[in-house]
Amino acid sequence: MSIRGKAYIVGAYEHPTRLAPDKSVAQLHAEAARGALADAGLSKDDVDGYFCAGDAPGLGPLSMVDYMGLKVRHIDSTETGGSSYLIHVAHAAEAIAAGKCNVALITLAGRPRSEGSSGTQPRNYGASAPDAGYEFPYGLATANGYGMCAMRHMHEFGTTAEQLAWIKVAASHHAQHNPHAMLRDVVTVEQVLASPVIADPLHRLDCCVVSDGGGALIVARPEIARTLNRPKVRLLGAGESPRGQNGGKVDLTTTGARWSGAAAFEEAGVKPSDIQYASIYDSFTITVLLQLEDLGFCEKGKGGAFVADGNLIAGSGRLPFNTDGGGLCNNHPANRGGITKVIEAVRQLRGEAHPAVQVKDCKLALAQGTGGQLGSRHGSATLILERE
């Protein structure tokens, strides 16, 4: 069953805080939910489906539905890290098409900045994880896993640190117009390369920010969307894919976007050259480059040339990306940047992005999420959205 045109994103909200020492994670979820409902012009009594991932406290949807006083008939706690929330949009559309719910609420929230979390420590998902005994003793951390992928791409295709730096430069050009962005100063390629090396070849400015906060989305049945006084953002296509170690037969330069993107484009009936704006998951600069290749915006190995010389800067570049500043400059709440990618794509399609970065007459946008670790295993999700 295709979900093309079966659901609309009618509400979107990005929590403005980047540091929340005085708020609980549950409170951040609830505040984000309230903001998205207000944006849509709906109340919590209209919600009959709820979606969350591993960032939700307690028993996930059971705890949060109770905390927020929701009365729902459908819940979903799909967990694929930072890509979860794009999958939730697709799963909400599926549930709506199947008659399981009419209005779905999706929330994300966390406090990694307040709690001192970073990507420089080994990630231990628990002693029961099947990979723990093979990987945790060797200290695989988020940053060095992505550095390994970047080094491999440089080795195979001649990609340079200067080319990766252009991704950060583009994000900074956009973040200067976002009053909530953590890093609003425009930077140069030289400044990126002069920042300390965190995990060779990645510099500090190649890495995303660590922020508290959250966000929320409302997905609704078409009949409900048409009654609301908001611009109509329709879901055209979606794809999801895991990518693991495959018994050691893994290509570090290929992401799950190769498969999730192909599925989304096929369902939407469009091609990469039709996309006017792209929200690309940007935990690190290399994350962006690899996904752009795998989504088909350029050939494999040509990503370095594609992102260089300002090609991602709104108003001048070929493919405007992450016009809120992205995870590299604006916000990466709960160390999970997927929901903010959808939020900014919705802003662009509504014509509500900052005027300095708004894509003229934006009708077709893509949001891409990655969750987990590119150096080992991760999930990928792609959404293609249209302004009706």
Based on the fold, state whether residues 160 and 224 are members of the same structural domain. Answer: no
Q: Do 173 and 223 have their domain in common?
A: no
* Contact criterion met (CB below 8 Å) for 21 and 253: no
Domain contains 130:
no
Residue after which a domain boundary falls, among 197, 231, 265: 231
Given this model, what pLDDT does residue 363 score?
98
pLDDT score of 65: 98
217 and 80 both lie in a single domain: yes
Contacts of residue 358, defined as CB under 8 A and 6 or more positions apart, other chains included, come to: 314, 323, 348, 351, 352
- pLDDT on residue 278: 98
Q: What is the mean pLDDT of residues 195-202?
A: 97
Residues 79 and 195 in one domain: no
Q: Measured between alpha carbons, how far is 201 from 161 in angstroms, rounded to an integer?
A: 7
Residue 135's pLDDT is 76
Cis amide leading into 57 (omega within 30): no
pLDDT 10s digits, 9-54: 999 999 999 999 999 999 999 999 999 999 999 999 999 999 999 9
- The answer on 372 and 243 residing in a single domain is yes
In a domain, 95, yes or no: yes
Judgement on whether residues 290 and 352 belong to the same structural domain of the protein: yes
Residue 376 maps to a domain: yes
Range 316-321 average pLDDT? 96
Across the chain, what does the average pLDDT equal?
95
Residue range 293-304: mean pLDDT, rounded: 98
Give CA torsion, residues 367, 371, 375, 377, to 10 deg. Answer: -120
One-letter amino acid of 13:
Y
Whether 53 and 187 share a structural domain: no
Q: Containing domain of residue 379, as a range?
A: 139-209+235-387
Label residue 250 by pLDDT band (50, 70, 90): confident
Distance between CA atoms of residues 215 and 53, nearest Å = 13
> Among residues 105, 110, 71, which one has the least CA distance to residue 91?
105
Q: What is the pTM of this model?
A: 0.96
Same domain, 283 and 242: yes
Rg (CA), the chain: 19
- Whether residue 14 is contained in a domain is answered as yes
User: Which CATH number goes with the domain that contains 98?
Assistant: 3.40.47.10
pLDDT band at residue 126 under the 50/70/90 scheme: low
> CA 234 to CA 220: how far, in whole Å?
10
Rounded mean pLDDT of 208-230? 97
Both 178 and 282 in a single domain? yes
Mean pLDDT of 165-193: 98
Q: What percent of the chain has pLDDT over 90?
A: 90
Residue 327 has pLDDT above 70, yes or no: yes
pLDDT of residue 123: 58
Q: Decide if 294 is inside a domain.
A: yes
Same-domain pairing of 112 and 11: yes
Strand 378-387 and strand 364-372: the pairing is antiparallel
Q: Does the pLDDT value for residue 118 go beyond 70?
A: no
* Residues 223, 88 within the same domain: yes
Local confidence band at 116 (pLDDT 50, 70, 90 cut-offs): confident
* % of the chain surpassing 70 pLDDT: 97
Domain count of the fold of the chain: 2
Between β-strands 364-372 and 233-243, what pairing exists: parallel, antiparallel or unpaired?
unpaired
Tell me, yes or no, whether 128 lies in a domain. Answer: no
Same domain, yes or no, for 144 and 281? Answer: yes
Residue 313, pLDDT > 90, answer yes
pLDDT tens-digit map of 368-377: 999 999 988 9
